[in-house]
Structure formats: structure tokens, C-alpha cells
Amino acid sequence: MASIVLQRTNQKMPLVGFGLWKVTNETCADTVFNAIKAGYRLFDGAGDYGNEKEAGDGIKRAIDAGLVKREDLFITSKLWNTFHAKDHVKQLAQYQLKLWGLEYFDLFLVHFPISLQYVDPAHRFPPGWTGDDGKVHLQNTPFQETWTAMEGLVDEGLTKNIGVSNTTGSLLLDILRYARYVPQVAQVELHPYLTQEPFLELARTLGIAVTAYSSFGPQGWVELGMDKNLTLLMEHTEVTSVASKYGKTPAQVLLRWATQQGLAVIPKSNSETRLLENLDCVEFNLEEADIRAISSLNKNLRLNNPAEIDPHLAIFA
């Protein structure tokens, strides 16, 4: 399986994984089991997705059925914004590991560089963006405190690798000033409407692997009514014409556009045929000119921008 070797641990992170956001609780265990049967080895979860227990059930079934061993899998999860204080990072990692039924994560990411007021998981989990009053409550935890606690998770064997998500270059540079363990992975929104070349160049320079999320652009946001009425990338003539040229689907072309640039991808699909189609996206090569043509669709357009929830959360400003 095509993979990226992560710095420090030299662990191989599969280039194509399965994204668990918006996979329903009812279908999640079956979907994970079927995805493992189809050949997926990386699952991208998060406390915020609210389906970690069900994802873990699917994994357990696959291990019990002899399809895989734990060490064959690469499980990613994420620390939510309300757990950035040093005392809460480990508490949450242990809580989430219990939900998954796992002893360790392969990768644990800070979901957003945003610290929000603590919500006890016994009160509400996942806590979401707002308090009981429906308002956003910031908390003054500096990122260094959170990162140092993330490093503690590595020392204690709760995760093998750590990283960040929804980050910009300035945060990466800041972390390097105090990190004992440099972030191994940065997971960011990246698709032809948001190509982020300068960020990729910095990550390459620093040896930080990049995972692109929302590879299909607005497609994954349609079901939330948050697609901003954009032309769907899978229907864009620039993408469909390249797809016909190679005899591939638009989805496969969008994923190959990313993986050929050295990015890992984590497409989500609730359909058994589409999840197979998505996994089968590294066995062909796009010509440079086709990659450039698709990149020219860039609009620097973000679908996942917390500033739209509250202007105090404008991390990309």
C-alpha cells in the first residue's frame, strides 16, 4: 500500500485512508468493517465526529474475524477544542481510546488551534463549538501548553505520532520553537478550490507530512447545506475532461491530483462501491499539465472556516 514515512517514528502512514466525519452512528461499525474488507487500513476519526465507539466496534469485528491485526491499522483521532488545557489532554485521549477499544492511537492531532472552555465529557460529548447557552466561550490556554501535553501522550504510549490540523505556517513555526517532538502530520483542507501551495512548500521544507481533507471540495458540505453554491468539483468540466482522458472517475482524478503531489487523502463515503472506487486512485499518473490545469481552479476558498461560527475564531485571517 502506498504510504508516507513519518519523521521521528519512521511509521508508514497510508496515502489513502477513510474519513469518518458524517458517517452515521447506525452505519459506522458496518462501514468500517466493510472498508477494512475492501483494503482500507487508515481511519480518520475525531472526538467531534461522535462515532468513535461505533468505529471501534467495526475494527474489533475485523480483528476478531482475522481480517487484520491491530498493527496493520493506522488509527487517527483528534483532540477537541475544549480539552486544550494540560490536565485535559490526557484525560480526553484516555476517554477516546476507551471509546475505540484501543490501547494507542497511531496519530493524534490537535483538531483546531482554538482553545474553548472545558466541558466535562460526562455532561456532553462531543461538546461542539458552543456552551449550554449556545455561545462560543474562549479559554486562555496558550498553544505551547497543549503541545507539551500532546508530547506527554507520546511519552506515555497513548499515541505514536502527533500533529496538528487546520493550521497555518505561522503556527507550525511557533511550535518548532519549543517542540521536543515536531508535528509529524498537518491535516488541512486542501482541494482544487484551495490549493495552499505556500503551506505545502513549508511543510515539505520542515519534513511534515500533509493530509488533505475535503478532497472533493464542496461535495462533502452539500449534506450540511454549507457548500456555498459552488460548482461541484466532480461536475467541473476541467475535472470531468481529465477523468474521461484517463478513463477514471472525477473522484479518482481529484484524489490522484492530491496524492501525486505527495499528499495523503482521507475521502469519506457511505457507499460500498464509492469507497472501493476511492481506494483505487493511485495506480495511474496524471500528466503534469493536467495537474496544473486542475490546480488553476484555485480560489483560495475555505469551506471549513470557524470565523463563520464566531468572528473571534478567525484563525485563517
Ligand X SMILES: NC(=O)c1ccc[n+]([C@@H]2O[C@H](COP(=O)([O-])OP(=O)(O)OC[C@H]3O[C@@H](n4cnc5c(N)ncnc54)[C@H](OP(=O)(O)O)[C@@H]3O)[C@@H](O)[C@H]2O)c1
- Can you tell me which of 25, 271, 285, 296 binds ligand X, judged by CB under 6 A? 271
Per CB under 6 A, which of residues 212..231 are in contact with ligand X?
Answer: 213-216, 219-220, 223
3-state SS record for the chain:
CCEEECCCCCCEEECECEECCCCCHHHHHHHHHHHHHHCCCEEECCHHHCCHHHHHHHHHHHHHCCCCCHHHCEEEEEECHHHCCHHHHHHHHHHHHHHHCCCCEEEEEECCCCCECCCCCCCCCCCCCCCCCCCCCECCCCHHHHHHHHHHHHHCCCEEEEEEECCCHHHHHHHHHHCCCCCCEEEEECECCECCHHHHHHHHHHCCEEEEECCCHHHHHHHHCCCCCCCCHHHCHHHHHHHHHHCCCHHHHHHHHHHCCCCEECCCCCCHHHHHHHHCCCCCCCCHHHHHHHHCCCCCCCCCCHHHCCHHHCCCC
Q: Least separation, in Å, of the C-beta of 189 and ligand X?
A: 6
CB of 261 to ligand X, least distance (A): 16
- The residue among 65 and 226 lying less far from ligand X, judged by its C-beta, is 226
- Based on the shown chain and the rule CB under 6 A, indicate whether residue 115 belongs to the binding site for ligand X: no
Q: Would you say 111 is a known binding-site residue? A: yes
Q: Please select the residue that binds ligand X; options are 8, 22, 124, 292, rule is CB under 6 A.
A: 22
Query: Among 40, 49, 181, 213, which one carries the catalytic annotation?
Result: 49
- 157 versus 225: smaller Cβ distance to ligand X: 225
Determine if 4 is a binding residue for ligand X (CB under 6 A): no
Active site residue 246: no
> Which residues are known catalytic residues?
49
**Site residues for ligand X per CB under 6 A:** 19-22, 44, 111, 165-166, 187, 213-216, 219-220, 223, 234, 249, 251, 266-271, 274, 277-278, 304
